[in-house]
Structure 1
């Protein structure tokens, strides 16, 4: 099962394995190979005066085939983990201006969105495979096809090791790491579109998410423990059901889910059984509710609209500023949501550049609501929604246009720097120097999964 930027292209006939640029024999049984390679700042960029481009690391073999696209990011200590349609990369970012490759894992399975905790790494697979193993090959459309969550041991960053996998209905387009009530367990909230009538892996109805429980000491015992329904049953022929992405704020016992047709606020006090508090709709402006971000006080939520599924040019002059944009909602003490305003990048893009609101994260700045966000070929935007009715961009970075689909998939702030996973150009490292954002440089954390928010 696939959707959005990946899905629209896969439906067109690209669902098989991309042709790798290096033979699979170069990998170990877990699909891990050591890496190297230099990083340089690129000249083919435009940026605001307060943003500096520190480094770019292009995709490298074996994760540089024609569909080896960069996807999501996670961070731990001095390491960045970068998802790729063909697997994932591990970078040493102890010197952010000179990121170096530690290892690459060849493990095809779009989108390979990634999260980490302790010695565990999780990958989302939302396209049918012959099995959960990295070398299983593409699925054949039968009952034995597999898609869901892959689990790796990353105790040795130079040699990640495949441990096990969990099959989930309709696969896993994205997932969100949720700390358990104690340190013995973590949960994954698995989001995926569906149903896909006539297939064994994605039956109707699909008005739910899957909750995977992972015992930290015995991760091979991970299993689906619940499938909470988040909406009423829908027409089995309707494709756009289920959720695209979920952001949790465990300290507040809240989650915000972007579920294609609407935004959903949830209570996650019972981690294994989240419950719905409110649905919000915007049928005039929003097409595909894609992602969500809380502000630090959990008094606002930013929902993004992925109009066009990520392959369309929605930042051009012909698209209204309220479409393919962000909507900022007030979250009241009564746990009710109220629309406050919209934000879209002010830099008009050409009609050939795929551009729309995508993945981002909050900057840790007391008293301010500022986030960094990817906009595909609209680049990376740093914007301020402290005044939610009048949000504004305060900095940006943008590669020159590329032919076809490209641009920043995810852009997150981590320990003083911005890291952007570009679909075709690899990993970019940026720094913003601005009086508004400088307080964020004082905040140091040891782990970041952007969809698992913590207070600062």
Structure 2
């Protein structure tokens, strides 16, 4: 059975069933009063055939970004000042054989970064590119590349939120670059475990970086102290070594394999770490205590877990990455905390993690608007295929990028007691 047939069958059956962390069955319809999604706006943008990738939202909430995978898509700056009408401000193409998997705004107005990875063996990759869209000579409508980070092929990047340093994912740790002068950057060094770093997210309030290592000598979650942003030091780690993998446990139960993405709770000593499994049993979300209870930054402890709502074994080529969770954000809403995921074929998924030991699935939006006219990536199955979710506190907006269907803007209703 192809996945689209299975998907339609689930809808025909009214399937809102999910596999919960306690192996029970829950319904989003029963729980969405605790955290419901409202779509505010959507845009397919220019619709590159290679598909969209990671998104980002500028701190003031007036611009969003997304990158692209195969082809010449490049990077897209999107005006979301009117969130009901996201509007492409520019597309900065890339070479046909280079992908831009990640994009991030610099804290300085008018700059953003886009990573580069080769799609073919003969691709030339200069490093992470620095785009001027209003910093100096560039404009939002006519950007220009003014510098690079000599990091080689790079999947993800994260600028320090307050200081002129940028962190890159390396095959032997976390790279640090001085970007005081974006036209003349310098390499500072590589820090952390000598392993394959997949992603990094910085919490500026606690001055901690949350790192997901996906192999090459270490698979697991690492916390770095970045109070000295040019000289990060390891503060704590949780290794997956010796723990059950997803192949070892029944579908929907907690495994530890392919640590992929880590993000923090802005209001509590909690972190959420996701595993990405492309085939077989899908990976899910671990909730870590890093100071909420008995855990600490030095000794992170897993205390909760959730798979995607409709978790299924991915045993057909067209189901590649379908049911694994992906890139997420954690939103503090008054007395409650919500987890929002760009959950690939699930679309946008929301959980209430106010009790981090018992995450509750509350709502879902299948990001397949305009899928019937979208070019989309030919190497995957069908939409939705949401890549990630990014929350903007200043305007209380959540932006989701879908590989097929572009940019979505959501409002998230809080749980009871939220603001």
TM range, smaller chain = 0.7 to 0.9
The match for 2:251 is none
In 2, Cα distance between equivalents of 1:87 and 1:271? 29
The match for 1:392 is 360
State the Cα distance separating 1:83 from its structure 2 match. Answer: 1.6
1:22-33 alignment, distance < 5 Å:
none
The match for 1:448 is none
1:228-243 alignment, distance < 5 Å:
228-231=191-194, 241-243=195-197
> Which consecutive unaligned segments of at least 5 residues does structure 2 have?
1-15, 17-27, 245-254
Change in 2 beyond 3 A, CA 1:344/1:268: same
The match for 1:95 is 82
In 2, Cα distance between equivalents of 1:55 and 1:178? 29
State the Cα distance separating 1:274 from its structure 2 match. Answer: 1.0
1:74-106 Cα deviation digits (max 9, x unpaired): 324311112223211112112211112211111
In 1, Cα distance between equivalents of 2:88 and 2:402? 16
State the Cα distance separating 1:377 from its structure 2 match. Answer: 0.5
Among 55, 65, 68, the alignment partner of 2:41 is: 55
In 2, Cα distance between equivalents of 1:79 and 1:96? 10
Change in 2 beyond 3 A, CA 1:191/1:355: same
1:429 pairs with 2:405: no
In 2, Cα distance between equivalents of 1:70 and 1:336? 33
Change in 2 beyond 3 A, CA 1:278/1:432: closer
Q: Which of 104-113 and 428-437 deviates more?
A: 428-437
Q: Which of 70-79 and 82-91 deviates more?
A: 70-79
State the Cα distance separating 1:149 from its structure 2 match. Answer: 0.8
In 1, Cα distance between equivalents of 2:347 and 2:297? 36
Kindly indicate whether the alpha-carbon contact (under 8 Å) linking 1:374 and 1:420 is maintained by their aligned counterparts in 2. yes
Kindly indicate whether the alpha-carbon contact (under 8 Å) linking 1:87 and 1:112 is maintained by their aligned counterparts in 2. no
1:72 pairs with 2:55: yes
1:10-66 Cα deviation digits (max 9, x unpaired): xxxxxxxxxxxxxxxxxxxxxxxxxxxxxxxxxxxx996643333331141xx512x
Change in 2 beyond 3 A, CA 1:350/1:328: closer
The match for 1:245 is 199
> Which consecutive unaligned segments of at least 5 residues does structure 1 have?
1-45, 129-137, 195-206, 232-240, 440-456
1:310-389 alignment, distance < 5 Å:
312=279, 319=281, 324-332=283-291, 335-348=298-311, 351=314, 352-353=318-319, 354-389=322-357
Kindly indicate whether the alpha-carbon contact (under 8 Å) linking 1:303 and 1:327 is maintained by their aligned counterparts in 2. yes
Change in 2 beyond 3 A, CA 1:101/1:438: farther
In 1, Cα distance between equivalents of 2:365 and 2:297? 38
1:268-321 Cα deviation digits (max 9, x unpaired): 12211211122212331122111111112351111100112xxx4x6xxxx3xx
In 2, Cα distance between equivalents of 1:58 and 1:253? 36
Kindly indicate whether the alpha-carbon contact (under 8 Å) linking 1:73 and 1:83 is maintained by their aligned counterparts in 2. no
* Equivalenced residues, count: 339
The match for 2:132 is 153
The match for 1:113 is 102
Change in 2 beyond 3 A, CA 1:148/1:387: same
Q: What secondary structure is seen at the aligned counterpart in 2 of 1:409?
A: strand
In 2, Cα distance between equivalents of 1:229 and 1:349? 35
Change in 2 beyond 3 A, CA 1:164/1:344: same
In 1, Cα distance between equivalents of 2:264 and 2:330? 8
Which TM-score applies when normalising by structure 1? 0.68
Q: What secondary structure is seen at the aligned counterpart in 1 of 2:266?
A: coil
The match for 1:297 is 267
In 2, Cα distance between equivalents of 1:334 and 1:148? 32
Kindly indicate whether the alpha-carbon contact (under 8 Å) linking 2:335 and 2:418 is maintained by their aligned counterparts in 1. no
Which TM-score applies when normalising by structure 2? 0.74
Q: Which of 109-118 and 387-396 deviates more?
A: 109-118
Among 274, 280, 286, the alignment partner of 2:256 is: 286
In 2, Cα distance between equivalents of 1:287 and 1:412? 24
State the Cα distance separating 1:435 from its structure 2 match. Answer: 4.2
In 2, Cα distance between equivalents of 1:345 and 1:392? 11
Change in 2 beyond 3 A, CA 1:68/1:174: same
- Give the CA RMSD over aligned residues: 2.6
1:202-221 alignment, distance < 5 Å:
207-215=172-180, 218-221=181-184
Instruction: For CA contacts below 8 A with separation 6 or more, give which structure has more relative contact order.
Output: 2
Change in 2 beyond 3 A, CA 1:410/1:230: same
1:127-147 Cα deviation digits (max 9, x unpaired): 27xxxxxxxxx7627xxx434
1:266-277 alignment, distance < 5 Å:
266-277=224-235
1:142-181 alignment, distance < 5 Å:
145-155=124-134, 156-169=139-152, 171-180=153-162
